[in-house]
């Protein structure tokens, strides 16, 4: 798959870029010489982060197509093109599926899935039209490769992002080989996703899913877990863009449950399985 060997001078857009993994990705891209536009929903945080790291900040609600179009318009107005798009914005409240309300589902799907769909719909034509090619990074999760209890809504969106991104990568390899795709599948990272419901629309009042302490996200994983800082994730993402890697994995030590899932699927496909 195509990669961008040098990031210096490239124009990158990072949604959810004002904090957490998004900021870490933006900082690393800047460090490698890229020009970066961050989109995020919180106006004051966008302005503060953009000023602090030397990026361009644009207030963006990825759940709304008009807002993502405005992000693209501002990027093109300032730089004339886009080379890298990181569809990273996401939310992660917890709940058993039986306790989730329809409003919980809407909040989760609007940001985690429709946010990526909107990013693809708006920015992919610009990447395809870029004579030098481009790269798209879609943020999924280890929860997009194997499911755990109490995060069914989150896993639903992240499994969808993985499948959509794999299909996109295959299509681009056939039709537009200069455009690559990476799927970011992070494990535990020190971010503020444990406060993601602060941006839940007021129109979605019925709450079954709630924010939890991030330490609870690993209680169903058997084994030692290394918590990463956002900038470390940014380094993995930047390497994946340069190398043209489909999967950007932050926690290889978490492969055990994924292997068990794959083994179960393989066994079910065996004769008599």
Point out the catalytic residue in the list 154, 179, 187, 200: 154
Residue 247 annotated to the active site: no
**Closest alpha carbon to 151 in 185, 87, 108:** 108
Active centre residues (catalytic): 154
């Amino acid at each position: 798959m195509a990669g961008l060997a040098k990031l210096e001078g490239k124009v990158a857009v990072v949604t959810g870029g004002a904090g957490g993994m998004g900021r870490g990705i933006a900082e690393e891209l800047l460090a490698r010489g890229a020009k970066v536009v961050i989109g995020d929903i919180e106006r004051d945080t966008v302005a503060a982060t953009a000023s602090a790291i030397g990026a361009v900040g644009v207030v963006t609600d990825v759940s709304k197509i008009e807002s993502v179009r405005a992000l693209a318009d501002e990027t093109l107005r300032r730089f004339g093109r886009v080379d890298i798009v990181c569809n990273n914005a996401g939310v992660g409240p917890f709940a058993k599926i039986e306790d989730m309300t329809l409003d919980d589902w809407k909040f989760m799907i609007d940001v985690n899935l429709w946010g990526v769909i909107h990013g693809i719909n708006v920015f992919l034509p610009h990447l395809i039209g870029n004579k030098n090619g481009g790269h798209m990074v879609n943020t999924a999760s280890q929860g997009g490769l194997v499911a755990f209890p109490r995060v069914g809504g989150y896993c639903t969106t992240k499994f969808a992002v993985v499948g959509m991104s794999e299909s996109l990568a295959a299509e681009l390899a056939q039709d537009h080989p200069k455009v690559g795709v990476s799927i970011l599948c992070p494990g535990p990272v020190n971010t503020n996703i444990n406060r993601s419901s602060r941006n839940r629309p007021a129109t979605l009042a019925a709450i079954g899913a709630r924010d939890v302490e991030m330490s609870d996200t690993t209680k169903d994983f058997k084994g030692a877990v290394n918590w990463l800082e956002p900038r470390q994730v940014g380094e993995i993402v930047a390497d994946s863009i340069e190398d043209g890697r489909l999967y950007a994995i932050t926690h290889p030590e978490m492969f055990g449950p994924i292997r068990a899932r794959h083994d179960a699927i393989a066994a079910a496909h065996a004769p008599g399985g």
